[in-house]
């Protein structure tokens, strides 16, 4: 006898029947356009043609707001090329937040539909007004933070380094956009190492990175409930803010302690400089990719801490990558509930549905699998050690941009592996999580239960 599963009826949502396909096409189109522009002779400082792999890698890195580079940004690219990169970063960052926020809205309405049908009430459709509010809100949040950070950086470049006003504005805007969008591109050959102990450069950039990484849903809810009690915040906002704060503190202590006496990193500075640089590098794996220290000189333990922080990433519907802090926190509470032999997961006064738990586990395991496959491939293609290759793979997938310095030395095949990994890491968790949520179904039967041996 054949048993069949009866699927719950579904309704189209204002043309968003295939959100995953729309996300992939949108980002792929941006990469193609960016690659084409970077291939133009005018995009290179020497006015010579750039290789296809270099242009594709850079465009993908910019659109995915990663920051890994295979050529020196200020040395290789002309002002036109830098502006193309800046435009791709802005498009990528706005696109990530907008599409992720819209998908979140679609998922919320879709999952809420069944509850409303059960209660025999009328559901609301996802309309153009919702889309318009999300797009405008994302743009306002982005431009507000970028403008403030750009003004602070511009003032510092003028007062502290004697830049001409036009040059200071250009550098301020570029690094503000790159920071808020968690891209990590810089207009200096050694990234931000010249400013390792300058709190007026490092602090604004760190603030922009954290702000962009928290995500649009967090900022819009904080804004709307600024005068209300923290207890009224949604579970998502509480999880995101709390987990981000904990990881920043833990990462700051771990990295600063491990590198305190390393002469190649923090050991070269005084106490104040060590604290500034250590805290700055605790923020960067959120996933920005700026570096004020030579990452290639990090201790092995520090690299592992960075691997973990990069893999976790930042908040959902933000410019950060990784599996997201809410996913990480949810699985941590699932473990706690299982250790305590609790049948359900209760978190901050709410019960977490089993569907969300399964989706979080799926995202984590598939992400880990992608990193492992890429790491094994790079080990087979290159002579580099596991520490370096794993760091590079995690940085690419989590769209971080930090590197031990081996990116440019990878063979073209290795750079293409990272290109695919950056693209997949940017759109993968978004499309996977939305697809899992939107495909949620109910069973009309259950098979006989049998428990396998665990452990």
Q: Of 152, 136, 160, whose CA–CA distance to 207 is shortest? A: 152
pLDDT of residue 125 exceeding 50: no
DSSP 118-133: HTT-PPPP--HHHHHH
Q: Of 203, 151, 157, 149, whose CA–CA distance to 178 is shortest? A: 149
Query: For residue 333, what pLDDT is reported?
Result: 92
pLDDT of residue 258 exceeding 60: yes
Tokens describing residue 275: 């604290």
Of residues 4 and 335, more confidence is placed in 335
Of residues 447 and 420, more confidence is placed in 420
Query: For residue 389, what pLDDT is reported?
Result: 96
Query: For residue 15, what pLDDT is reported?
Result: 41
How far apart are alpha carbons 92 and 105 in whole angstroms?
Answer: 20
- The residues with which 350 forms a beta bridge, in sequence order, are 347
pLDDT of residue 383 exceeding 60: yes
Query: For residue 132, what pLDDT is reported?
Result: 67
Q: In sequence order, which residues have a C-beta less than 8 Å from that of residue 72 and are 6 or more positions away?
A: 189
Query: For residue 435, what pLDDT is reported?
Result: 57
Query: For residue 431, what pLDDT is reported?
Result: 66
Query: Do 256 and 237 meet the contact criterion of CB atoms below 8 Å apart?
Result: no
pLDDT of residue 13 exceeding 50: no
% pLDDT > 90, the chain: 58
% pLDDT > 70, the chain: 82
Q: Of 383, 370, 439, 430, whose CA–CA distance to 411 is shortest? A: 383
The model's confidence at residue 230, banded by pLDDT at 50, 70 and 90, is: low
Angle in degrees, CA 221, 223, 224, rounded to 5: 65
Q: In sequence order, which residues have a C-beta less than 8 Å from that of residue 186 and are 6 or more positions away?
A: 73, 175, 178, 192, 290
pLDDT of residue 105 exceeding 90: no
55 backbone dihedrals φ, ψ, rounded to 5°: -65, -45
Query: Do 355 and 439 meet the contact criterion of CB atoms below 8 Å apart?
Result: no
Angle in degrees, CA 315, 321, 326, rounded to 5: 30
Query: Do 288 and 209 meet the contact criterion of CB atoms below 8 Å apart?
Result: yes
Residue 162's region, left for phi above 0, alpha for psi from -120 to 50, else beta, is left
Query: Do 13 and 109 meet the contact criterion of CB atoms below 8 Å apart?
Result: yes
How far apart are alpha carbons 153 and 125 in whole angstroms?
Answer: 44
- 290-346 pLDDT tens trace: 999 999 999 999 999 999 999 999 888 778 889 999 899 999 999 999 899 888 888
Measured in residues, the chain has a length of 455
The model's confidence at residue 130, banded by pLDDT at 50, 70 and 90, is: low
H or E element in which residue 351 lies:
strand 350-352
Query: For residue 221, what pLDDT is reported?
Result: 80
Structure pTM? 0.85
- The residues with which 261 forms a beta bridge, in sequence order, are none
C-alpha distances in Å from residue 340, one per residue of 44, 134, 333, 334, 346: 60, 40, 10, 10, 12
Tokens describing residue 270: 């005084």
Q: Give me the chain's average pLDDT, please.
A: 84
SS3 sequence of 393-414: HHHHHCCCCCCCCCHHHCCHHH
Q: Identify each DSSP E strand in 126-236 by its residue range.
A: none
Average the pLDDT over 342-353 and give the result.
86
**How many alpha carbons fall within 13 Å on the CB side of residue 46?**
7
pLDDT of residue 375 exceeding 50: yes
Query: For residue 250, what pLDDT is reported?
Result: 95
The model's confidence at residue 126, banded by pLDDT at 50, 70 and 90, is: very low
pLDDT of residue 379 exceeding 60: yes
Average the pLDDT over 188-215 and give the result.
94
The model's confidence at residue 191, banded by pLDDT at 50, 70 and 90, is: very high
Q: What is the rounded radius of gyration, in angstroms, for the C-alpha atoms of the chain?
A: 23
Query: For residue 102, what pLDDT is reported?
Result: 60
Of residues 59 and 133, more confidence is placed in 59
Query: Do 182 and 65 meet the contact criterion of CB atoms below 8 Å apart?
Result: yes
Average the pLDDT over 382-392 and give the result.
95
Query: For residue 111, what pLDDT is reported?
Result: 42
Of residues 193 and 236, more confidence is placed in 193
- 42-98 pLDDT tens trace: 999 999 899 999 999 999 999 999 999 999 999 999 999 999 999 999 988 887 667
**How many alpha carbons fall within 13 Å on the CB side of residue 143?**
6
């Amino acid at each position: 006898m054949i048993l069949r599963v009866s699927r719950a009826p579904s309704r189209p949502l204002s043309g968003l029947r295939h959100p995953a396909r729309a996300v992939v096409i949108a980002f792929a189109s941006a990469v193609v356009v960016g690659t084409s522009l970077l291939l133009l002779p005018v995009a290179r400082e020497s006015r010579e043609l750039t290789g296809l792999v270099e242009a594709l890698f850079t465009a993908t890195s910019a659109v995915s707001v990663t920051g890994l580079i295979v050529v020196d940004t200020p040395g290789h690219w002309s002002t036109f090329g830098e502006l193309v990169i800046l435009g791709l970063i802005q498009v990528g960052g706005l696109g990530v937040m907008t599409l992720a926020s819209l998908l979140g809205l679609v998922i919320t309405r879709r999952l809420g539909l069944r509850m409303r049908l059960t209660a025999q009430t009328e559901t609301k459709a996802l309309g153009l007004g919702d889309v318009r509010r999300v797009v405008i809100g994302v743009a306002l949040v982005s431009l507000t933070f970028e403008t403030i950070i750009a003004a602070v950086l511009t003032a510092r470049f003028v007062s502290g380094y004697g830049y001409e006003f036009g040059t200071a504005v250009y550098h301020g805007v570029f690094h503000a956009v790159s920071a808020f969008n968690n891209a990590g591109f810089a207009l200096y050959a050694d990234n931000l190492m010249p400013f390792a102990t300058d709190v007026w450069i490092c602090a604004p950039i760190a603030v922009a990175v954290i702000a962009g990484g928290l995500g649009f849903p967090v900022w819009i809810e904080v804004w709307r409930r600024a005068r209300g009690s923290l207890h009224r915040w949604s579970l998502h906002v509480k999880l995101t803010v709390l987990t981000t704060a904990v990881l920043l503190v833990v990462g700051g202590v771990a990295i600063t302690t491990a590198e305190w006496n390393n002469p190649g990193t923090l050991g070269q500075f005084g106490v104040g400089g060590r604290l500034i640089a250590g805290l700055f590098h605790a923020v960067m794996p959120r996933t920005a990719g700026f570096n004020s220290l030579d990452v290639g000189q990090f201790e092995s333990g520090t690299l592992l801490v960075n691997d973990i922080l990069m893999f976790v990433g930042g908040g959902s519907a933000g410019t950060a990558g990784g599996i997201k802090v809410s996913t990480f926190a949810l699985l941590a509470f699932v473990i706690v509930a299982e250790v305590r032999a609790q049948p359900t997961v209760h978190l901050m006064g709410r019960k977490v549905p089993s569907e969300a738990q399964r989706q979080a586990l799926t995202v984590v395991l598939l992400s880990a699998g992608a990193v492992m496959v890429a790491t094994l491939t790079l080990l087979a293609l290159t002579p580099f050690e596991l520490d370096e290759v794993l760091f590079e793979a995690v940085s690419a997938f989590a769209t971080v941009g930090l590197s031990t310095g081996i990116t440019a030395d990878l063979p073209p095949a290795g750079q293409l592996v990272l290109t695919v990994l950056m693209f997949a890491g940017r759109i993968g968790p978004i499309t996977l999580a939305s697809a899992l949520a939107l495909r949620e179904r109910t069973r009309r039967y259950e098979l006989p239960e049998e428990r396998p041996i665990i452990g």
